[in-house]
Structure 1
Amino acid sequence: MSRVVRRPRSAVRRPVTISVVAVLVLVAGYLVAAAVVPFGPASASTTTYSAPTSSVPALSFPGYGATAVEATDFPESLRTSGDTKPRSIASITKIVTALVVLDEKPMAAGESGPAITFTPKMESLYAKYAAMNGEVAPMPAGLKLTEHQAFQVMLMKSANNYAGALAIWAFGSIAEYEQAATKWLEEHDLDDTTIHEPTGLDPQNTSTATDLVDLGQLALADPVVKEIVGTKDVTIPTVGEIENSNKLLGLDGIEGIKTGTLDEAGACLLFAATYERGGRDVTVIGVMLGGVDHDSLDVDVQRLLRSVADNFQVVPLTHAGQTFGTFSTPWQDEADAVTAEAAEVLVWGKTKVRATAHLDEVTLGTKGERVGTVRFTVTDHDPVTVPLVLERTIDDPGVWWRWTNPFQG
């Protein structure tokens, strides 16, 4: 007779228990792994930028001679009218004389410079230039003035004998001055300018309107010349009270630079004016050659300057909070990358603006966190870079999403 062998109950349950534990371990491992697996960065896309527009300026040029005008630091603003050939420049020559003499006999801003004792040879220039109907000022032999005072008489009163005397004082003779002036013009790339003598009474002292705009830039860059051409009146020993020959000085922002008058040249003016635009000062430099007289020329200069000043524009590049990109997560969350601040630039005339956004890798983030930049390139302007920040927080989707969407990060 056979017997039935019974196993212990614990032996029967052991495989079932092991299986359950194994499953639980696997499930737990999955849940842990799914919960801690790192997300990849959210997908990022940039938006299309709508650039601001501007127009080509219409300037009020005269119908005679040659004219050029340019806003400093806005090279594309250079505009010209009339002929482009070299023309006689009359006493605008004295700006060249001042800069050439200062190159030889430097004088710092606020200083008087060395004393100059005028010689009989210098004194004789008075009669020479007076006979040519040129502007002159008293200069007796033995008179002592500082270099700064002599410059004032030359540039403000436009006294030809003082221009000649300064050239002789600095270089020994007019011929030596001519050589120095020629070298100085070459060094400063004023290739269309010719200077034979220091006064401008020689009609063969010639230049183009565009060269003279560059000369005006050089004049304003020298603090001594800039200060003197911007002075209305002054009293000089022996010479007496002198007034600036530029009657526009102080009107419409005009701060210089030099008048010129000669039969062959007509009425001429190298001028500069400064305006406040867009929270900054902007300087306009220009020249008019070949006017009928200074009264009508001055009217034309004021009209031209107003038309130039009116063409400065503040162009808004972006407002604060403008969207330049979007981050999208696998759990269907989205957050825009927006500008942290507004930005604008001062431009002149027609201007092109382009924007390029650069977005960082972002997985999670808080509102206001920096996530990239947008760089604006603007005609005649340094690039402008604005930080981009998250418009809203990108939160962790939580454990449940991770468990139900395994490894989708």
Structure 2
Amino acid sequence: MPTPATYRRRRVTALLVILVVVVAGLYGALTLLAPVKSVAASVAAPAIPATAAPAVTWPGYGASAVGAVGFPAATAASGRTDAVPMASISKVVTALVVLGAKPLKAGEAGPGITMTAADVALYSHYLALNGDVVTVRAGYTFSELDLLKLALIKSANNYAGSLANWAFGSTDAFAAAATAWLAKNGLTGIHVVEPTGIDPRNVGTASDLVKLGELALQNPVIAPIVASTTGDAPNVGGFANTNNLLGKDGVDGIKTGTLDGWGANLLFSSDHRVGGTTVTIVGVVLGGRDHATIDADIRTLIGTVLAGFHPVTLAEKGQAFGSYATAWGDTAKLVAAKKVATVVWGATSVAPQVTARPVATAARGATVGTVSFTIGGTTLSTPLELSRRIDDPGWGWRLGHPQVVFGGV
């Protein structure tokens, strides 16, 4: 018969077995249910070399400037920096100021404007000054769009004057409105006293005239007019654009200017496809000997500016920008969700930045971060996705790693 000591030993043994079972069960439950610690990504921002600065070929006279819409790095100038005679480039100011007061929508002709004896007197006035004119008679009726075409395509001084007088009542009132408009648009380097440019006091800096050209291209009424090689109007018939560069080297605007005692001017725009992107170059050359001279120099200028544009692929779809590696052996890459490409000009540097959140488990294709590229004042980006699934480590690994309970892995 067992002794009391034997019973005590049996009870202790049973209690120890129960304790072991409870501890084992608790350990198993804790290790199987405890969350695994998130792991941080190892990221790698790519090195994108800067493109080379182009050598721009400038005319060796007067004043010149160039820019490209949306590419501030392409802005440059050469020659005189003071305000010089604009000549008929003034008519771009006139058109924008008139449309500010008498707006048209694209495709609209606008109100009818009947010519009077005052308009006939303008014809005589500008003819006496050796300015470009087109015949007018009292009773002729034109639309606002007709007068804009005559001013911008044919460069008719008398019709530019008639347009300004119709909109503002007098030359002085137009000049005041133009001064206010120029100040509002930050074009402090441009000054006008009348609407045609025949007065040499109508002056502008080359840099501000490039800005003026960009504003003209943004206007849905003016842009198609200045791109037209010909125009027509009632009582006048057809007429050719004074800009002989239209259609050459992508040129689609903007306005010629010629002034005795100063020379030839051209405010131009030129469109080109670079890497799937349309690049619009806007520039001006002022004070050339004649239009044949500045036209040739502008074609050279456009070519050297265009040579400075480069398509750049910043990220290919599926390109890796980092990786995850878990303690239980799962690995996955951070890959770009889409291709990121752009066009840069000149010695433009690209600053990439990779951000990624820590993950514990995640599905393949889950968005876990971003790669962004800053170019000048523009930022382009694409999400980063997991290249493969990161799974839970499973019961076998968990049971062999008790530190998972304490957040160690």
Match of 2:292 in 1: 295
Residue in structure 1 matching 2:112, options 110, 115, 131: 115
Q: Deviations for 1:30-53, whole angstroms, at most 9, x for unmatched residues?
A: 223222222111243322431232
Alignment partners' CA distance in 1, 2:333 and 2:316: 15
Count of aligned residue pairs for this structure pair: 405
Matched, 1:201 2:194: no
Q: Deviations for 1:37-76, whole angstroms, at most 9, x for unmatched residues?
A: 2211124332243123211122121111111111001122
Alignment partners' CA distance in 2, 1:333 and 1:237: 78
Match of 2:388 in 1: 392
Residue type of the alignment partner of 1:355: P
Matched, 1:220 2:220: no
Matched, 1:253 2:277: no
- For structure 2, the 5+ residue unaligned runs are none
Residue type of the alignment partner of 2:396: W
C-alpha deviation, 1:289, in angstroms? 0.2
Match of 2:237 in 1: 240
Question: Which deviates further from its counterpart, 83-92 or 28-37?
Answer: 28-37
Residue in structure 2 matching 1:42, options 33, 39, 42: 39
Contact kept, 8 Å, 1:90 with 1:260, in 2: the verdict is yes
Secondary structure at 1:407 match in 2: helix
Question: Which deviates further from its counterpart, 88-97 or 53-62?
Answer: 53-62
Match of 1:98 in 2: 95
C-alpha deviation, 1:368, in angstroms? 2.5
Residue type of the alignment partner of 2:320: T
Alignment partners' CA distance in 2, 1:164 and 1:227: 21
Distance 1:171 1:400, change over 3 A: closer
C-alpha deviation, 1:77, in angstroms? 1.4
Distance 1:179 1:20, change over 3 A: closer
Distance 1:335 1:266, change over 3 A: same
Distance 1:235 1:329, change over 3 A: closer
C-alpha deviation, 1:110, in angstroms? 1.0
TM-score (norm 2): 0.93
Match of 1:283 in 2: 280
Residue type of the alignment partner of 2:190: T
Match of 2:55 in 1: 58
Residue in structure 2 matching 1:22, options 7, 19, 22: 19
Question: Which deviates further from its counterpart, 143-152 or 48-57?
Answer: 48-57
Distance 1:398 1:123, change over 3 A: same
Distance 1:17 1:132, change over 3 A: same
C-alpha deviation, 1:142, in angstroms? 1.6
Match of 2:328 in 1: 331
Alignment partners' CA distance in 2, 1:223 and 1:394: 53
Alignment partners' CA distance in 1, 2:73 and 2:139: 51
Distance 1:361 1:164, change over 3 A: same
Match of 1:316 in 2: 313
Alignment partners' CA distance in 2, 1:27 and 1:223: 79
Q: Deviations for 1:187-239, whole angstroms, at most 9, x for unmatched residues?
A: 22211111111111111111100110111112112222112111111332322
Distance 1:188 1:369, change over 3 A: closer
Q: Deviations for 1:92-126, whole angstroms, at most 9, x for unmatched residues?
A: 11111112222222222211111111111210222
Match of 1:366 in 2: 363
Alignment partners' CA distance in 1, 2:115 and 2:87: 25
Share of identical aligned residues, percent?
Answer: 43
Match of 1:402 in 2: 398
Distance 1:135 1:31, change over 3 A: same
Secondary structure at 2:292 match in 1: helix
Residue type of the alignment partner of 2:116: T
C-alpha deviation, 1:9, in angstroms? 7.7
Distance 1:241 1:342, change over 3 A: closer
Q: Give every structure 1 segment of 4 or more consecutive aligned residues whose post-TM-superposition deviation is greater than 4 Å.
A: 4-12
Residue type of the alignment partner of 2:294: L
Residue in structure 2 matching 1:263, options 260, 264, 278: 260
Residue type of the alignment partner of 2:391: D
Q: Deviations for 1:348-378, whole angstroms, at most 9, x for unmatched residues?
A: 2222212222212211233332222222222
Larger Rg: 1
Contact kept, 8 Å, 1:52 with 1:316, in 2: the verdict is no
Matched, 1:147 2:165: no
Residue type of the alignment partner of 1:224: V
C-alpha deviation, 1:277, in angstroms? 2.1
C-alpha deviation, 1:330, in angstroms? 2.2
Distance 1:5 1:241, change over 3 A: closer
Contact kept, 8 Å, 2:40 with 2:357, in 1: the verdict is no
Alignment partners' CA distance in 2, 1:109 and 1:280: 25
The alignment's C-alpha RMSD in Å is: 2.1
Matched, 1:124 2:126: no
Q: Deviations for 1:135-156, whole angstroms, at most 9, x for unmatched residues?
A: 1100011211112112211111
Residue in structure 2 matching 1:167, options 164, 169, 181: 164
Alignment partners' CA distance in 1, 2:165 and 2:307: 45
TM-score (norm 1): 0.93
Q: Deviations for 1:3-52, whole angstroms, at most 9, x for unmatched residues?
A: x9856987764443332232233223222322222211124332243123
